[in-house]
Amino acid sequence: ALSEEDIKSAKEWLETEKVWLMHRGGFSEAHLLKSENTVLPEGRVRVRLESGDVIEVDEDDVEKANPPQFDKAEDLAVLRYLNESSALHTIRQRYAASLIHTYAGRYLIVVNPVQQLPIYSDKIIQMLKGCKQEDMPPHIYSKAQVVYRDMLNSRKDQSLVFMGKSGSGKTVNAQHVLHYLVMAAGCSNGALTVVKLNSVFTILSAFGNSRTSLNVSASRFTQIFTVDFDSAGQIGSASVQALMLERSRVVRRPDNEHNFNVFYQLLAGADSSLRNDLQLHNLNEANLFMTTLHKPEEKEKAVESWLQLLEAFGNLNVTEAEVKSIMAVLAAIYHLGTAGAIRGGSNKAQFAKPSAAQRAAAILGTSVEELSRSIFSTGGTTTLSRTASLRVSNALDRPAYLPSDANATALECLEGFVMGLYADVFSAVVSLINRALSSSVRAINSVTIVDCPGFQSSGAGVSSSSRSQGASFEDLCHNYTQERLQAFFHEVALSTPQDLYEEENIILDFDIMPSSPSSLINLLDKPPQQGLMRSSAADLKTVEKKGLLWILDEEAMFPGATEDSFMERLLQQHCEHPVRKDSLLRKGSLGHTFVLNHNQGMTPILYNAQGWLKCCRENPISRNASLVLQDSKKSSISQLFSSVKAQSSGAVSGTTVGSESSASVRRVNSMRRPSTSGQAGLKRKSVCLQVKFNVDTIMDILKKTQVHFIHCVLPHHFAGLGEQQKLPQDDCILNVPLVRNQLRGFEVLDALRLYRLGFPDSLPFTDFVNKFEPLVPGLSKTGHGEGDLKLTVNMILDHLDIDKLNYRVGNSRVFFRPGCLAQLELNRDEKFTGIVGQFQALCRGYLGRKKLEKLKVQHTAIRCIQRNVRKYMQNREWEWWRLYTKAEVELLKAKNEKLEKERAEYKTQCDKLENRLAEVSAELAEENTTSSEAADLLETETAERMKLEKDLRELQNKFTVLKRQHEKLQMEMMQTQLWQAESVDDSLEEKEDNSAYKRKYEQVSKELQITKKQLQHQHEEEIDQELQSRKLIERKLHDAVGEAEEQRRQVQVAKKKTQRLTAEMQDLKLHLEEQMSRNNELERKQRRFDSELSVAHEDAREEKALREKLQKEKDELLLEKYSLDQTLQYTQMEQQSSTEKCARLEKEINDLLQTGKDNSE
């Protein structure tokens, strides 16, 4: 109940009408003024700021504020007025108090704290372990507990997706989730421990992260971490899948950005022995791929990270030889960067510094001639086998588009070889990680954590950005992945619930339907519907639009294509005319630049397409890297990379190798996506389109699980760099415009509004009846049909006395408001607690009796053992007995050795057969894919051939008609020439006789000239009139376009106003429903109290009547007692009198006797 002070403060707050005034810099607190005496224009209101100034603003810039008690609300769903400013105010207030986590219904918002906070400890894990979501504060551990609890309750695989900009803390939060799962679930076999988990992230951060302009340690690959659980809910094994590694960063990194972290750690932290082995003595030479660290603090940090990396390898049981082999390849990459490549004599490619190349060859275990031949010779690529090792990123086996590499420069060949080396190193590292995390425990369920690189902007908000000229193709790939994840969130949070409501005939007042990210996704990856052919510029307008990735792939395929042709096709197919600010695609100000409006139009990113065709053409030299490593003369290098190649055969990437559990094998098989569609089958090996197929694989994995989302928010532009000193004074806590754009792009508030207005918790009729039937005593199912189940559900709901505003009954499911189902489960748990207590008492009694019986049996057994021991003590010195015991031990030992040998042989055969089975399965999958591709290609070619034959027949018929017309015209022309010749001859012969005709002819000619001039003048006048009419029409068209734009703007304003009013109406309706539900609850409590009070009054009346009756009986008994006391007293007096009389008589008798005795004497 509210106190009088709370009621008074609430009334005062309502009277002040506090609002938020939105502006470019964020929002400000204000008070809405009523316009009683002044008349304001339509759509304008007057507000008073906190400074006292009164201003007139647009009503669309004003949003209602919530009471002060909601300033630090743990869940945005409890806000009375749900709007952007109120949500931002709550997040900012919590962030200022170091509360970085906020619930948004089912989802969690995490703001990057920039600095370390003491909120992650084992004590907090123990506090949250086993709790429900409604009992836990917003925390990343709470979300992990919800995921783990849902997995145990539903026995369904779970997944957790992290979304946000680069530098928002996605990888750190993923590590916290895994840390909680390890601590809360435990691991019986030690496959995944906290030490191993930290070691895994240390290694992945070294080999897959780098410093960028937006993040001090940005992930440059997509990682999928899967944790398998056994039937007891404990961790059985784990695996890591790595996709879309940005391997081009090894050779071409943006200006002022670093290469992968492991290179700097190796160069700064290697000891003298390792430096001698890797020949890393002179680090001052110029290097194409990286520069050494110069700042002392950076070197110290690199040395510390190097020691942590070595310790991490040791924790994962990676041998010293394997670590040294990996570092040898990294050192070889460094030496190749020093060696460089040039065109020497006779235009032959060679190393610029042969001494550095010699060092690289020695480290790799090959000769410099063989190394040079592998890098600069194009013929070596033909020796690759069909089942060559698949890469972590986009380096899949695909025939080069160019007929040969003759056009490739020497430096491009070197870059391709180095990228192949690093891809193999990364595959080997991930395989070693999976080997350490694998086990033979049978997995029942799993939790999959997806961590993708965040949105890569083109330097917005960073004054000295290296990407000011535009984002790269790799940035486009990462941004495309985030767009697909956002589209999946839109489907799960908005589309699917509304489709379910419509299917179940649940009427829901939710008219606000936000725009879907599918339009931008179609712009990027929409596949063509026709056969693969290059269209001319004239046909571009008639050809159906293709996605950017498909256009880029086609341009990369054909020789002679340039970035100009790519930009021309892209802009002609997807650029709107006229271009608006909110257009998905618009041309940039520079040459090959364009802008894409990512993240629901909230993140416009400038891209620079210069060099994209080169990135999307496969470099065949990359294939030679794995061959060089496998054929290395150093056994440690060849064994390591040969095993990685053998284990990763047939998978999408070599990142899942090393996992031996059945669940891991299942996931590896799920990663094989043999595309059966024509275009997908043809393009499965496309370097440029591989990102689409990899993201499709991620989506397939997520769709098979129950998905949870965590939205990571970047508080300001420098948060990823861990810098706060550069911030302006207004942004010291939170950059409100930046956070507002992120929330809009996430669609969190739209999903939250649907969550509040809808019924997010639902159960099928069967599950609901089975779960809550025990709460209704004496209830039995009336049948098994849907109608009978629905009747049973309604009976249960009526008996539980739930407010009808809090649930809806559909065709096959029952839906509940947030929190209602949790309350029912709490009531169910409370009832089951008493039943379980009684059951435990019975079990304890039963176990006690069984224990007694067991003790009796043990007592008998002890006596038997003692008797046998006594006999053994008598016979142990017998020679034959001693011989028998020795011989039996030797026989058992021999038998055991034989069994162990057979077991080892069977295991070896089993391993060979499993390897053979894996190879055959991979070959079968490849053959199936090839056959399906061939069939699709044949079908496409057949359709194309039939179309061309039809076109040929039509052209032949048309040619025949034209030929006949041509012949006819030729005949007519010859006849006309003949007539003219005859007329000329006749005129010459009759010249003298036809002077009159001549004069007439001259007169007619003059008239003809005059007529021509008149017609020409008339034609010029008509042209002038047409030009004037055209100008008039163009002016009208321009006015019409302006009017259309104005109407569009007015429609947008009206739509925005309608959405705002609808949202406020829905908030008020929801608040009214909450009040009605609360009133109904209070009425039920009042009725329950009145009923209990009437029962108490009735009991009091009965008690009073009984008391009066007892009082009457008491009085009667008292009266009877008084009568009996009088009688007793009279009887006692009589008895006393009789006693005295008897005593007197006895005394008299005695006196008489004494007297008689005396007389006798």
- In the annotated binding site for ATP, the residues are 164-171
Collect all residues with Cβ–Cβ distance below 8 Å to 545 and sequence separation of at least 6: 526, 573, 574
Instruction: Assign 101 to helix, strand or coil.
Output: strand
d(CA 370, CA 350): 12
d(CA 179, CA 141): 9
The structure tokens listed for 346 are: 């006779």
Instruction: Assign 1022 to helix, strand or coil.
Output: helix
Quick check: bond before 138 cis, omega within 30?
A: no
Sheet containing strand 813-816, strands side by side: 761-764, 813-816, 807-809
Q: Which helix (H) or strand (E) segment is 451 a member of?
A: strand 445-451
Collect all residues with Cβ–Cβ distance below 8 Å to 743 and sequence separation of at least 6: 84, 87, 88, 713, 749
d(CA 187, CA 229): 9
Give the torsion through C-alpha atoms of 573, 575, 576, 582, to 10 deg: 140
Residues at the binding site are 164-171
d(CA 206, CA 825): 46
How far does CA 507 lie from the centroid of its chain? 30
Instruction: Assign 387 to helix, strand or coil.
Output: coil
**Residue ranges with strand state E in 618-760:** 706-713
Sheet containing strand 603-608, strands side by side: 585-587, 593-598, 603-608
Q: Which helix (H) or strand (E) segment is 219 a member of?
A: strand 218-219
Amino acid in position 122: D
d(CA 47, CA 50): 10
Residue 943's alpha-carbon distances to 273, 852, 936, 940, 955, in angstroms, are 66, 84, 11, 5, 18
Sheet containing strand 235-243, strands side by side: 101-104, 107-111, 706-713, 158-164, 445-451, 222-229, 235-243
Query: How many residues in the chain?
Result: 1161
How far does CA 1091 lie from the centroid of its chain? 53
Residues 721/215, Cβ–Cβ less than 8 Å: yes
> Given its phi and psi angles, is residue 155 left (phi above 0), alpha (psi -120 to 50 degrees) or beta?
left
d(CA 962, CA 964): 5
Instruction: Report the alpha-carbon angle 207-213-215, nearest 5.
Output: 55
The structure tokens listed for 179 are: 């840390």
How far does CA 568 lie from the centroid of its chain? 34
Residues 397/687, Cβ–Cβ less than 8 Å: no
Q: Is residue 518 classed exposed, middle or buried when 0-12, 13-18 and 19+ CB atoms within 10 A define those classes? A: middle
Residue 490's alpha-carbon distances to 210, 495, 748, 897, 1058, in angstroms, are 31, 6, 9, 62, 22
